[in-house]
Amino acid sequence: MSSLSGRCVLVGVTGGIAAYKSADLVRRLIEHGAMVRVAMTASAVQFISPLTLQSVSGQPVHDALLDIDSETAMSHIELARWADQIIVAPATADFIARLATGLADDLLSTLCLATQAQIAIAPAMNHVMWDNPATQENIATLRDRGVDILGPDTGSQACGETGPGRMVEPEALLRWLTGQTDDQLLTGLSVLVTAGPTWEALDPVRGLTNQSSGKMGYAVAIAALKAGAKVNLISGPTALSSPPGVPTCRVTTALDMFSAVDAQVSDVDIFVSVAAVSDYRPEAHQTQKIKKHAASFSLELVRNPDILATVAARSSPPFTVGFAAETDEPVAQARRKLEAKKVDLMVANQVGGENSPFGRDDNALILVELQGETDLGRGLKQALAQCLVREIASRYHAKYSAPGS
């Protein structure tokens, strides 16, 4: 039975070209057992007819703030109380701005203020609008309030340009929604996750680091928590808030992260190393800013300890999962690391190029193990994390329920 069976899902539709995808989302939700109602803004009806969404949902479409046909003539209160989950797809820049500022000038924005249900939005707009600081500030505001931001995807747009701003496909949205009520696959187990980059200081101003945002690692920690595990997170420097219910140890350098992992890993069942840890650090840290004198500058680096390999080499290691972020041949490189470090599972993802996952909300993952590969495909990091946790749980239980384990 789907986790959506019997849940009341309100789909909000705003006025963007991606509104045509809303009908497919509604259909998929109903196929998974959800009870679906649709609320549209006035501009949304210019892109898709209410009759289409009514036919797909089997329910009247709501678009009026004061509905004289409802029992109380206050449909925003009725719908706000009815919904277990609200998902606005597509969510235009205009709607995002109104939601962030708390405006309540139509049915959809008003019921979002009046509900206690979880709200998710799937942004859809031109890539320049998405990158605009005003939009990014609005997104940050909503995320801080607990609104789930699903996407956007990157690709060709209706305007003929390419970039971030495409609405996430209905299939990926469904994968995220079905993961909100996850089976308790990890109940009674403890999981340690690392996330984010590390920072290796050259002097008080400069340092060696990478573009990791920490989003994938944080998503894995949240997914493991939803699967019933006791989760601890060790995070390098990120702009992300600590996940609710997940104790978070914040570190800066690779040596800091090594020490934090060493202090906690003895008591865990599963270790998931998502962090992008610096392989090297400067041999010497300058106490004053390095001045620009010579035409060239040499920097002596020393190797940092390999956290993943060290954990896997313990006398009684936990079930150990590593990430391999590679610019070329990610599966082959992940397999080489799997065999060299003797871990249970490696997760390959390609970085670099226009589809690089750094800083974005989507990713593409391939699981690599001795028996072969499993392609999880491309999707939102939250959805992929849920899939990954299910795969980890399956392999953990298979390993430790086997005779002689």
Task: Give the residue numbers annotated as catalytic, written as ranges.
Answer: 159
**Residue corresponding to tokens 């392989």:** 279
| Beta-bridge partners for 118 | 85
The full 3-state SS of 249-317, as one line of letters, equals EECCCHHHHHHHHHHHHHHCCEEEECCECCCEEECCCCCCCCCCCCCCCCCCEEECCCHHHHHHCCCCC
CA distance 83 to 331: 42
CA distance 361 to 380: 6
Selection from 132, 138, 131, 66 nearest residue 95 by Cα: 138
**Which sign does the torsion angle of CA 61, 64, 70, 75 carry?**
positive
**Neighbour count for residue 332 (Cβ, 10 Å):** 13
Using DSSP's 3-state secondary structure scheme, residue 84 falls into coil
| Beta-bridge partners for 193 | 233, 272
Core vs surface per residue 19-37: b (16+ CB within 10 A) or e: bebbbebbebbbebebbbb
CA distance 231 to 192: 6
The H or E element containing residue 346 is strand 345-350
CA distance 91 to 108: 11
**CA neighbours closer than 13 Å in the CB half-sphere of residue 199:** 14
CA distance 394 to 250: 30
